[in-house]
Structure 1
Amino acid sequence: MRKIVLLISLLSVMVACDKPVMQKPANLIPEEKMVGILTDIVIYQAIDGYDSQKLTTNNVKLSEFIYNKYKVSIKDIETSNKYYASDVEGYKKLYAKVIDRLDEQRKVAGVEVEKTTGVKPVDAQ
């Protein structure tokens, strides 16, 4: 799945560089929902890269997780991602929101770790 997402991202960037902004698809995922989906994909990839057995052991499949949480298909994600990527500056802003959301989640997780273990996260000030 990670390879598919990477391939989609690379193809989207290539398409964005070659063509003007494409027409808005009928099944376009709203931007904020897309930010959530991309955030979850990044987290999934991080877990998979760190300990892929965790996902296998817990029977977590990205496509099923995304469908159940957001009620969108992989096809909808591909189409929407291609549309958003066709506007490079807009896509940068979309990914900036993903990074902001990841930072927020990291801070929340750090607070929870500190409460549980008493150990401050490395980047805590």
Structure 2
Amino acid sequence: MKRILYLLSFVVLTGCGQSTEKRPADLLPEQQMVQILADVHIAEARIETNVLYPDTALMVFNKEQMQILADHGVEEEEFRKTYRYYLNNLAQMDKLYEIILDTLSVREAKLRSTDTTGAPRPQPPVPILEGMKQAY
């Protein structure tokens, strides 16, 4: 969650120097990008909580990100192209992250409302890279 706030702060602070490029038609729809980035940030938080070593965390995160893109039916290059557009148009990125933060808040509220005991929910385990076991 800290990284989201840092990224959002960066976006707001650098928003003055954005370009006014028109949004190309071949980018991912905004709502799909919101859902993907919300899932990516949830995965990142889960990995940060459960994985101790940075290099292992990066490998697990990359695998998780590829799985998220596959779940959404998006190619990595489509995602990267859309993300680059938002990096070059920081006002649009700022608006996108406002929606992402709202989406994450709604997801959190839904999770809290289904937990009637008040006890913290156990985190799902971070999958170990199966391919790494075979490589060594």
TM-score normalised by structure 1 residue count: 0.66
SS of the residue corresponding to residue 80 of structure 1 reads: helix
Runs of 4+ residues over 3 Å off in structure 1: 16-19, 21-27
* Aligned counterparts, 1:37-116, within 5 A: 37-52=36-51, 61-114=63-116
User: Unpaired segments of 5 or more residues in structure 2?
Assistant: 1-6, 121-136
* Number of aligned residues: 106
Does the Cα contact within 8 Å between 2:66 and 2:76 map onto a contact in 1?
no
Q: Distance in 2 between matches of 1:108 and 1:81?
A: 28
User: Unpaired segments of 5 or more residues in structure 1?
Assistant: 1-8
* Aligned-residue CA RMSD (Å): 3.3
Does the Cα contact within 8 Å between 1:28 and 1:76 map onto a contact in 2?
yes
Q: Distance in 2 between matches of 1:63 and 1:43?
A: 11
Q: Distance in 2 between matches of 1:18 and 1:78?
A: 21
Q: Which residue of 2 aligns with 1:28?
A: 27
1:26 offset after TM fit, Å?
5.6
The percentage of aligned residue pairs carrying the same residue is 25
Does the Cα contact within 8 Å between 1:110 and 1:120 map onto a contact in 2?
no
TM-score normalised by structure 2 residue count: 0.61
Q: Which residue of 2 aligns with 1:3?
A: none
Question: CA 1:17–1:93 in 2, change beyond 3 Å: closer, same or farther?
Answer: same
